[in-house]
Amino acid sequence: MSDAIIRTENLEKSYQTGAVTTQALRGVTLEIKKGSFTCIVGPSGHGKSTLMHLLGGLDHPTKGSVFLEGVEIGSLDNSRLAQLRGEKIGFVFQFFNLLQGLTAKENVEVAAMLAGVPEKEQAERAMKLLAQVGLAEKADSKPSQLSGGQQQRVAIARALANDPAILLMDEPTGNLDSAAEAEVLEILRNLHAQGKTVVVVTHNNEIACKAEYVICVRDGQIQ
């Protein structure tokens, strides 16, 4: 389809642990439309996160292809993949994964730096994004001084630092209380409304209910 920002063809991923081979994905073919809000759901250990890693170019598929904006990324080398992540993908993880030694603003600035944003513009962009997630006043706080919800909002601001084509989130509310979860959901809704492509891997039915598309992964396959 022409409006697919990302699509996969017969995607397979297996891991070798000693003599044991684990088949995480078994021929996944899917499409994610540009500007859509898609949830990937399914039981734990059935390949959701693996699928997200492959969609975001964090890993190479064992077989099959991943196309991002029409470019096959599965066969790109590590360096090119890293560059592509810096330019087109924004990641948000369950455990926030902020750099602990840096302030909220600096965390966003690092992402901007890696995306090639000039140093002079980084601070401005970081403040704008922190304001967007409602944390401008916490710009100089270290992650340890922020609540879980606030850390996740900083992580979202950081994921937006490169103005990504697609936002990939792995259980973004998995570690949050209800109030924080509602705040994050609100931000996701706003991002989607602004035209961002949002893909969320989740167990959270409330998020899944709000998604335009839901992809269910079970035993490494789409159901």
Partner 1 sequence: MTLSKLVIRNITRRRGRFVFTLMGITIGIASFVTFLSMGGSLKSEINRESAALGANLIVTPIGSCAYEQVSILTGEILPSNITMDEVAKIRAIRGLSAVPVLTEKSAVANKPVSVNGVDVAAMKAFKGWEIAKGAYFSGPDESAAVVGSAAAELFKLDTGSTITVRGESIPVKGVLKETGGRDDVTVFLPLPLAQRLYKASNKVSYLAVKVDNLALTDRYVEQIREATNLGVVSDKQMLKSVLSIVGTVNITLQMIASVSVLAAAFGIVNTMLTATYERKREIGILQALGATQRTIFTIFLLESGFYGIIGGATGVVLGLLVSITAAPYISQNAFTSFVKGSGVGAMIDLKTVVGSILFSAVVAILAGVYPAWRAARLSPVEAISYE
Regarding 101 and contact with partner 1 (CB under 8 A), the answer is yes
Residue from the set 3, 43, 75, 99 that interacts with partner 1 by CB under 8 A: 99
- Kindly tell me which residue out of 35, 86, 148, 174 binds partner 1, with binding defined by CB under 8 A: 86
Q: Is 162 in the site for partner 1 (CB under 8 A)?
A: yes
4 binds partner 1 (CB under 8 A): no
Tokens of 113: 């730096």
Residue 56 binds to partner 1 (criterion: CB under 8 A) = yes
> Is position 106 an interface residue for partner 1 (rule: CB under 8 A)?
yes
CB of 127 to partner 1, least distance (A): 13
* Contact present, 149 and 179 (Cβ < 8 Å): yes
State which of residues 87, 134, 208, 213 lies at the interface with partner 1 (CB under 8 A): 87
Taking CB under 8 A as the binding criterion, the range among 55-63, 131-139, 146-154, 198-206 that sits at the site for partner 1 is 55-63
119 binds partner 1 (CB under 8 A): yes
With b for 16 or more beta-carbon neighbours within 10 A and e for fewer, the 25-50 pattern comes to bbebebbbbbbbbbbbbbeeebbbbb
Q: Are strands 63-68 and 71-72 parallel, antiparallel or unpaired?
A: antiparallel
Phi, psi angle pair for 110, to nearest 5°: -60, -45
Nearest to 174 by CA among 129, 207, 211, 130: 207
In this complex, which beta carbon is closest to partner 1, that of residue 102 or of residue 136?
102
- In the complex, the smallest distance separating the C-beta of residue 108 from partner 1, rounded to whole angstroms, is 9
* Least distance from partner 1 to the Cβ atom of residue 212, Å: 25
Q: How buried is 118 (Cβ within 10 angstroms: 0-12 exposed, 13-18 middle, 19+ buried)?
A: exposed
**Segment interacting with partner 1 (CB under 8 A) among 34-42, 52-60, 67-75, 189-197:** 52-60
Does residue 202 belong to the site contacting partner 1 (CB under 8 A)? Answer: no
Helix 148-159 crosses helix 104-114 at what angle (to 10 degrees)?
Answer: 20
Q: How many residues sit close enough to partner 1 to count as binding (CB under 8 A)? A: 32
Report H helices in the chain: 48-55, 78-88, 104-114, 119-132, 148-159, 178-193, 205-210
Report CA-CA distances (Å) from 151 to 73, 109, 198.
30, 15, 19
Residues at the interface with partner 1 (CB under 8 A): 53, 56, 58-59, 78-79, 82-83, 85-87, 91, 93, 97-102, 106, 109-115, 119, 122, 158, 161-162
